[in-house]
Amino acid sequence: LVAVRSSATAEDLPNASFAGQQETYLNVRGDASLLVHIRRAWASLFEPRAIYYRVNQGFDHFKVALAVPVQKMVQSDVSGIMFTVNPVTNDKTQIIVEAIWGLGEKIVQGAITPDHYEVDKTSLELVTHRTVPQTIEMVRSGDGNIDRKVPASRIHKRKLTDAQAVEVAKLGKKLHQHYFFPQDIEWAIENGKLFVVQTRPITTITATTAKQAAVDKAVQTITGPVILTGEPASPGVATGIVNILKSAREINRIKAGDILVTDMTTPDFVPAMKKAVAIITNKGGQTSHAAIVSRELGVPCVVGTKTATTSLKPGRVVTVDGAKGEVYASSLKASSVNFAPTQAAYHAPAVTLKTATKVYVNLGEPDLAEEIAKRNVDGVGLLRAEFMIANIGTHPKKLIKDKQSHVFVNQLAEGMSKICAAFGDRPVVYRATDFKTNEYSHLKGGKEYEPVEPNPMLGYRGAYRYIHDADVFELELEAIKKVRQKLGYKNLHLMIPFVRNVREMQQVKKLVIASGLPRTSTFKLWMMVEIPVNVILLDSFIDVGIDGISVGTNDLTMLMLGTDRDNETVASDYDERNPAVLWALEHIIKTAHKRGVTVSVCGQAPSSHSDFAEFLCRLGVTSVSVTPDVIDKTRQVLYDTELKLIKK
């Protein structure tokens, strides 16, 4: 027995998934039947729904080709779908696994609401799971498939154990890394063996800035009670008139501005889905047809409500919040609802570039975080403490003397938490304070505690200062603990700057651990590489036990070239693209790869020079952290470079 599947050349483009447009045939036996089903797969290119879809997407019918893979037929005990990023929130740290009993056809159709598992992509630990009772499963019968009742002993049972969910996620992570882009994967387990039957790029990850702003505004206007809940499937908020369809044969009943309510959708529903302002289904999960197509169309969608077709009344006006999975009663009358403008107001751009090389942002001001977090950025690669400490206004030593340490801790924690909250699960890497003595002295009480140095750049700063002013460093660590442990923002990590020797890194690490912040799968310790000694003895620094390094090209370039970039007399000789600096970067990145630590570059160079970002990408840097104004420009450079590398 084999499975006959379809793979069209126009499928899975950035703005068109072609989900379900071509046919799949399971349990095909014998050469004659195989040839028949291959022809049927080819013929499915010209079914009415496929023709309609291509017309709407602007594709030439005769420039779409179809390959027909023939696979071993997996008689799955458990099957499902997996996304290597969260398809609803675009959270890149999560792998979403959904599972049902029996063959996977039912989950793809959305005919069954699946179990839902969320796995942390970095630690590969199961974060949460939700079990959904299942009463019907599809199984093989002779040469075909039948629906049968699930035995009572399995109706309420979890489809996957913790270990199995992690095993599936681990395979998904490998596929993501192999293809460089987030994947939508169909998988199956037969007699304990895991199979992948299909993988394709996720096509519905879109920019969310404009959409989210409008959604947030819309959410604030919701006043009615929640009357129905389900799975969040496609973000957005829309108000409209309930129109219940029993099957795809009724799609002509949907008018512009209606909310489409049905048991589940199939590809034949797409024309109606394009007209609807929102979609609600009884069945399905975040990987169902309704969810995928709704995200592609930018239409709010709630799936798996169980009772939408019976509890909602035709003609009633309701509001759908696709991000929360909630349906609200509305006090509006049908005649007063204005549909089209609100729907267009928050449609996101069709294409958001994704790259294997992460793009982080350099950030220091908490008030900017919410707006910047809406951009196409993977996290904060450099959170500067200096702006927040300047806002506190008083030297930390004076606050300690005046028994006001809590003021420093609370205000610093408030700034950190505002940034962590804005970025959700995306990492925020906090660089410990790197004020120089001349900068610290400007704070209230600063002159009492700061020496006057002839060259603050090379003076009392960085790791050396944390060791000798441990009481001040402990206040920073206390603020980090408050944000992580009391406020619950586990995306905050620590980076140590300006480390002059290995012994300093060892001592600072002991202080961090003693404060109650040991390295874990969710708390990473990074070190800045910005002094020539860091480059030369990099292996020894890594031996101390760190998770990542970040190259500060500003200081590294100055110290390697002996040139002060702030001195206009010699500033013309300051260039991060000097061969010596490029050699150092190549050595750093290769060493980091060899030792299994992440490597980022957070100086000004990637922001100022697109060729510099391309150079780093070709070397295999894990991430670059840039100023907010060049986020999109940097992403484009990395995207173009990665495409060239893939084609090679």
The four Cα atoms 291, 297, 301, 306 give a dihedral, to 10 degrees, of -50
Q: Are 610 and 639 in contact (CB under 8 A)?
A: no
d(CA 495, CA 307): 50
DSSP code for 11: T
Apex 202 CA angle, 201 and 204, nearest 5: 145
Q: Is 219 helix (H, G, I), strand (E, B) or coil?
A: helix
- Give Cβ neighbours of residue 32 (< 8 Å, ≥ 6 apart): none
d(CA 421, CA 175): 30
The gap from C-alpha 187 to its chain's centroid, in whole angstroms, comes to: 21
Look up 420 and say whether it is catalytic. Answer: no
- Report the DSSP pairing between strands 492-496 and 428-431: parallel
Q: Give the residues across from 70 on adjacent strands.
A: 4
Nearest to 180 by CA among 167, 199, 206: 199
Nearest to 544 by CA among 580, 573, 507: 507
d(CA 472, CA 44): 69
- Measured from the Cβ of residue 596, the count of other Cβ atoms closer than 10 Å reads 8
CA torsion sign for 111, 159, 325, 13 is negative
How big is the chain by its Cα radius of gyration, in Å? 28
Q: Are 364 and 380 in contact (CB under 8 A)?
A: no
Catalytic residue among 129, 176, 289, 493: 289
Q: Helix 470-481 crosses helix 405-422 at what angle (to 10 degrees)?
A: 40
Q: Are 623 and 359 in contact (CB under 8 A)?
A: yes
Catalytic residue among 301, 420, 602, 617: 602
Tokens of 27: 């349990």
Look up 289 and say whether it is catalytic. Answer: yes
Give the active site residues. 289, 602
